[in-house]
Amino acid sequence: MARLARDHGDPALLAFIGQLVEDNSLEGEAAVVARKLLEKGATKLTADERVLLEQEVIEPYITACEACDSTPSWAEMLHVYDTGLCAKCFNKLEGVEVPAVRPDWMPLPAPPEEDDDTIAGLPALAPVDA
């Protein structure tokens, strides 16, 4: 797998880590170091914290697209982590599959209740003059 640049001050990486923090995806020390990075900046991290950041925050989330094997940008990383596909492949597959699986089994929307009430409320089978 291609190794991503590891500038811990990279705005795209910080946005990615910010998303992890926001989603409460990090626990324990990983969450603490991630928050410190976001609040104080990369230069304030100790060497140990940088290692922990790499091992506990960044590495676990680095993944490649299952379809095209590309390593996504940080902006796309969580999408690939969640779906297994980069946005390009995801959209390509979406475009093909969504109409195909438009389910026949999906029930039609129920008719509005008020129609039933109106019918039920009518005088029973008033004679119809032809």
List residues near Zn ion by CB under 5 A. 65, 67-68, 86, 89
| Shortest spacing between CB 46 and Zn ion, in angstroms | 37
| Shortest spacing between CB 26 and Zn ion, in angstroms | 26
- Using the minimum distance from each CB to Zn ion, give the nearer residue, 25 or 70: 70
> CB under 8 Å to 1, separation ≥6 — which residues?
62, 64, 71
3-state helix, strand, coil in the chain (%, to 5): 60, 0, 40
- Using the minimum distance from each CB to Zn ion, give the nearer residue, 26 or 90: 90
Quote the tokens at residue 71.
């390593």
Closest listed residue to residue 33, CA positions, set 22, 23, 44, 77: 44
Q: How many C-beta neighbours within 10 Å does residue 113 have?
A: 8
Q: How many C-beta neighbours within 10 Å does residue 42 have?
A: 17
| Shortest spacing between CB 73 and Zn ion, in angstroms | 12
| Shortest spacing between CB 68 and Zn ion, in angstroms | 3
SS3 for 11? helix
- Using the minimum distance from each CB to Zn ion, give the nearer residue, 68 or 96: 68
- Using the minimum distance from each CB to Zn ion, give the nearer residue, 14 or 86: 86
